[in-house]
Amino acid sequence: MPTVLRKYGIRFHFYGSDMHEPPHIHAAGNGGKAKVWLEPVEMAEHQGFKSSDLKRIIEVTNDHRDEFLEAWHEFFRAIF
């Protein structure tokens, strides 16, 4: 489960088993977890986060989208 970024107490990562889904990032921390699609950036699901955390997760994802996509493609290219 590669961690791509840690910011505001939230870990942004993905799982090796995610390879059959469109590119996305998971966010965990502050008592919650979420999944955000990267193309386009859109909240897929969330649980336990405050609305202020969800807003921040979307902002961070927008700011680091290219980095997240690069890490996604690099990781899954290495698996195959």
Domain boundary assignment for the chain: 3-79
pLDDT in tens, 34-70: 999 999 999 999 999 999 999 999 999 999 999 999 9
CB atoms within 10 A of CB 26: 19
What is this structure's pTM? 0.93
Cα-Cα end-to-end distance for the chain: 16
Which tokens is 71 given? 């890490």
72-78: average pLDDT: 89
Could you tell me the pLDDT band of residue 79, with boundaries at 50, 70 and 90? low
10 residue type, one letter:
I
